[in-house]
Amino acid sequence: MASKKGKILIVDDNAGIRRALEILLPLHFAEVKAIPSPASLVSSLEQFRPDVVLLDMNFNTSINTGNEGLYWAGEIKKMAPEVEVVLFTAYADIQLAVEGMKRGAFDFIVKPWDNDKLVATLIAARDKARKAMGRETHPERSEGSMFWGDSKPMALIRKTVDKIAPTDATVLITGENGTGKDVLAREIHAHSLRSGMPMVAVDAGAITETLFESELFGHVKGAFTDAHADHAGKFEQADGGTLFLDEIGNIPLHLQAKLLRVIQNRSVVRVGGSQAIPVNIRLICATNMDLEQLVREGRFREDLYYRINTVHIALPPLRERREDIVPLAERFIGQYAEKYHRIVSGLDDSAKAVLESARWNGNIRELQNVIEKAVILCETKSLSANDIQIDTSGSALRTAGNTGTFRAVSEAEEERLVREAVERMGGNISAAAKSLGISRPTMYAKMKKYGL
């Protein structure tokens, strides 16, 4: 039997469940406290100071428009990040529990529960929390390092990166959404002579027109109503390092001229100011759009295109590097097995066949999400075909987002796609953004644009 140490707080409105756990858990925890609702959760966290919270997913009250368990799990992590949250859920709410883990919950337990599994999960959560509170550090597997694989296209790109990374050459990275353009940008920075300096990333498609100059070039105090202090823009923040402008194809034409001027002059003038501030940056840009086509259509400045296109790297979609699919999946399995404390260590032949035959409209990002979910739900040592859940609904939406046509359609069509994505994902903005192949900030900007 594990030693009795640590504190656990149970939050469940079922009196029978609370009584059962108050009998079981004192055999394994030094202190056990149970409360019937989240109403006293804040005070209990402050006074009881638990290592673990076993949190029911549903209560009889209704304090918000979403699931109450997810809401309170988020609040716990805000108030006490070191406390581990284990979600207590009915079978029908497993999808919500998976979302809870993505938001920071340690694990979930399905009712009716198995005592051994419940205790093992709670002890693992307790031990992790106590290590964190004791300020012990544990290196984690990098989720963002570049995976080159064995395909010919990636081998050629790697040679190019080896040549240009140590230089200050401006780089344009193109490719469908989910191909890893941001990861490649970080790889270039990491192998540059500026690697010890900051890399500042900007989602250009998510910045509203009214804030574009302030965000990129900065502003002085009093420049506009909410300018209560001087603010250094992204160019200044990246001084000495690398500035990564993602989704550059989405910048409106009239703002492209201002961006071009700064890139040419290598200096910025803050909004409301008059002094030119020199900036020493290495510029990397990325887009999923066909900039040459936009230039022909008059929607992207030709002079800006040539200024940012000193070196062009086109990342291939995952379907064109199929020999890399299984190795990538195995990498993600190791990553998420460690993150979610799962025993999963590989793929069986049926799973490999499913992965290799899928189209992967969402590319590496879609593969990563599929493996993450499979690892969370799998109860065996290897993933099988039954564990691989590839969402084939809405593939046209993902294709639209990945090929860049999502931004090219009419506003009416764009609004329809955004509304359908939000409805299809039950209001989950992150999931809706992923289904369209765009970032969450861009999704918020589009929702604001269409009054959603």
DSSP state of 315: P
As annotated, the residues of the chain forming the CATH 1.10.10 domain(s) are 409-449
Closest of 275, 286, 430, 409 to residue 365, by C-alpha: 430
Angle of the 363-377 helix axis to the 429-436 helix axis, nearest 10: 140
- Give domain 7-133's CATH number out of 3.60.15.10, 3.40.50.2300, 3.20.20.140, 3.90.180.10: 3.40.50.2300
- The answer as to CATH 3.40.50.300 being correct for domain 152-314 is yes
Total-model pTM = 0.61
Closest of 188, 183, 195 to residue 240, by C-alpha: 195
As annotated, the residues of the chain forming the CATH 1.10.8.60 domain(s) are 318-387
As a whole number of angstroms, the distance between CA 29 and CA 337 comes to 26
Closest of 155, 143, 152, 176 to residue 371, by C-alpha: 143
- The answer as to CATH 1.10.8.60 being correct for domain 318-387 is yes
Give 307-317 pLDDT, tens digit per residue: 999 999 999 99
Query: Quick one: pLDDT at residue 214?
Result: 85
Give 359-381 pLDDT, tens digit per residue: 899 999 999 999 999 999 888 88
Query: How is domain 409-449 classified at the CATH fold level?
Result: Arc Repressor Mutant, subunit A (1.10.10)
Give 164-191 pLDDT, tens digit per residue: 999 999 999 999 999 999 999 999 999 9
Regarding predicted confidence, which is higher, 151 or 227? Answer: 151
Q: How confident is the model at residue 321 (pLDDT cuts 50, 70, 90)?
A: very high
- Give percent of the chain with pLDDT exceeding 90: 41
Give 51-62 pLDDT, tens digit per residue: 999 999 887 655
As annotated, the residues of the chain forming the CATH 3.40.50.300 domain(s) are 152-314
Query: Quick one: pLDDT at residue 398?
Result: 37
As annotated, the residues of the chain forming the CATH 3.40.50.2300 domain(s) are 7-133
Closest of 332, 365, 362 to residue 347, by C-alpha: 332
Q: Residue 438 region, left (φ>0) first, then alpha (ψ -120 to 50), else beta?
A: beta
The pair of structure tokens assigned to 162 is 């080896």
Q: How confident is the model at residue 338 (pLDDT cuts 50, 70, 90)?
A: confident
Q: How confident is the model at residue 283 (pLDDT cuts 50, 70, 90)?
A: very high
